[in-house]
């Protein structure tokens, strides 16, 4: 099947996304849609964080809009955004040929390994807020970091058993490379030409400017602090409410997912507060610890659900 030109990843941002989705669909991944909450990275999606825990096999791929309030540059930096897309793949357990599969995906989007220098450069991944870490690499293409490749060892403070392999593609940067443009905002979004062409800037430049103002200058810190506390309290409340009764036959946890949503929310509130510069260096650590405690509790709850491996 030959691609129409406007779907070619070398000239179309959406073509890149669709190509990756198709490729990973062929590897048996469920193609999910983005999680409908603000997260800092695709890893936060419960399809990764929670599904990485427990014995069950799992393969998923999805685009995840990622919010990094501190990375806002008022639309002026050509390759750093406060809202960008990650393409996330998780394979659990990781198949023995995960590196080959990854290289296959590069081939699918038009990166020819006879021409391009692909390298796996040590980069161990750690998320203090998620209580997670893994070993892996930054994947370089001709000196540019195009993906992160991680073998999860621990998530939410629990050993991963089995280990999942996680791939994260920074879509904008990858597309810049494929399209040969110098700025994310110049990316051709829809692959069309002339008046029909829509650029990344057409879609997102205004948002980058507005959100940078919001993130650095106007976000209501009092509200954010309150929301942080509320989310933290709600998370604990839902965890408690979902906890199985000691005498019940069914010993499954009943509300791990809603509780985890609140953990995600707390994490995002923290990121916003951090960008607003209202969290001192010493406090910072304690906020991170508070989110980690929530993540750990949610992970523990998940392990008591069907998804976490408990028989119905």
Ligand X SMILES: Nc1ncnc2c1ncn2[C@@H]1O[C@H](COP(=O)(O)OP(=O)(O)O)[C@@H](O)[C@H]1O
Stretch that binds another protein, among 25-33, 87-95, 195-203, 206-214 (CB under 8 A): 87-95
Q: In sequence order, which residues have a C-beta less than 8 Å from that of residue 304 and are 6 or more positions away?
A: 244, 251, 252, 253, 256, 310
- Report strand pairing: 30-31 vs 58-67: parallel
Q: Quick one: DSSP state of residue 94? A: P
**Terminal alpha carbon distance of the chain:** 43
Q: Which of 86, 127, 129, 148 binds Mg ion (CB under 5 A)?
A: 148
Crossing angle of helices 98-108/13-26, nearest 10°? 140
Q: Which of 35, 125, 152, 238 binds ligand X (CB under 6 A)?
A: 125
Q: How far is CA 157 from CA 2, 104, 240, in A?
A: 46, 32, 19
Q: Which of 114, 195, 248, 311 binds another protein (CB under 8 A)?
A: 114
Q: Quick one: what does residue 84 bind among Mg ion, ligand X, another protein, none, with the CB cut-off 5 to 8 Å set by partner type?
A: ligand X
- Adjacent-strand bridge partners of 167: 89, 149
Q: Quick one: what does residue 220 bind among ligand X, Mg ion, another protein, none, with the CB cut-off 5 to 8 Å set by partner type?
A: none
- Adjacent-strand bridge partners of 165: 91, 151
Report, in Å, the least distance between residue 196 CB and another protein.
27
Q: Quick one: DSSP state of residue 171? A: H
- Adjacent-strand bridge partners of 151: 135, 165
**Going residue by residue from 128 to 167, which x/- string records binding to ligand X, judged by CB under 6 A?**
-----------------x-xx-------------------
Find where tokens 């890893």 sit. Answer: 43
Q: Which of 51, 59, 92, 173 binds ligand X (CB under 6 A)?
A: 173
Query: For residues 47 and 106, which CB has a smaller minimum distance to another protein in the complex?
Result: 106
- Dist CA 221 CA 288 (whole Å): 17
Report, in Å, the least distance between residue 230 CB and ligand X.
25
Query: For residues 69 and 242, which CB has a smaller minimum distance to another protein in the complex?
Result: 69
What residues make contact with another protein under the rule CB under 8 A? 55, 78-79, 93-96, 99, 113-122, 124, 134-137, 141-144, 151, 153, 160-163, 165, 177, 182, 280-282
């Amino acid at each position: 099947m030959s691609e129409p030109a406007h779907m070619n990843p070398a000239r179309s941002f959406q073509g890149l996304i669709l190509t990756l989705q198709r490729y990973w669909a062929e590897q048996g991944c469920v193609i999910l849609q983005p999680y409908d909450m603000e997260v800092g990275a695709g890893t936060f999606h419960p399809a990764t964080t929670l599904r990485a825990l427990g014995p069950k096999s799992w393969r998923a791929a999805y685009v995840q809009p990622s919010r990094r309030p501190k990375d806002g540059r008022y639309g002026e930096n050509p390759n750093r955004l406060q809202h960008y897309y990650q393409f996330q793949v998780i394979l659990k357990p990781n198949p023995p040929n995960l590196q080959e599969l990854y290289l296959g995906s590069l081939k699918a989007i038009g990166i020819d390994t006879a021409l391009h220098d692909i390298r796996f450069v040590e980069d161990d991944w750690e998320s203090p807020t998620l209580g997670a870490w893994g070993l892996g690499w930054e994947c370089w293409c001709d000196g540019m970091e195009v993906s992160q490749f991680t073998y999860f060892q621990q998530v939410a403070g629990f050993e991963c058993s089995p280990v999942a392999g996680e791939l994260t593609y920074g879509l904008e940067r990858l597309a810049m490379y494929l399209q040969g443009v110098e700025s994310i905002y110049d990316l051709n979004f829809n692959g069309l030409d002339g008046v029909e062409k829509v650029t990344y800037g057409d879609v997102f430049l205004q948002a980058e400017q507005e959100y940078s103002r919001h993130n650095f200058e106007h976000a209501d810190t009092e509200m954010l602090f309150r929301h942080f506390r509320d989310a933290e309290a709600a998370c604990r409340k839902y965890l408690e409410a979902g906890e199985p009764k000691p005498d019940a036959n069914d010993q499954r946890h009943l509300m791990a997912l809603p509780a985890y949503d609140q953990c995600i929310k707390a994490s995002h509130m923290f990121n916003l507060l951090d960008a607003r510069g209202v969290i001192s260096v010493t406090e910072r650590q304690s906020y991170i610890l508070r989110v980690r405690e929530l993540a750990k509790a949610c992970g523990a709850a998940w392990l008591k659900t069907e998804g976490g491996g408990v028989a119905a």
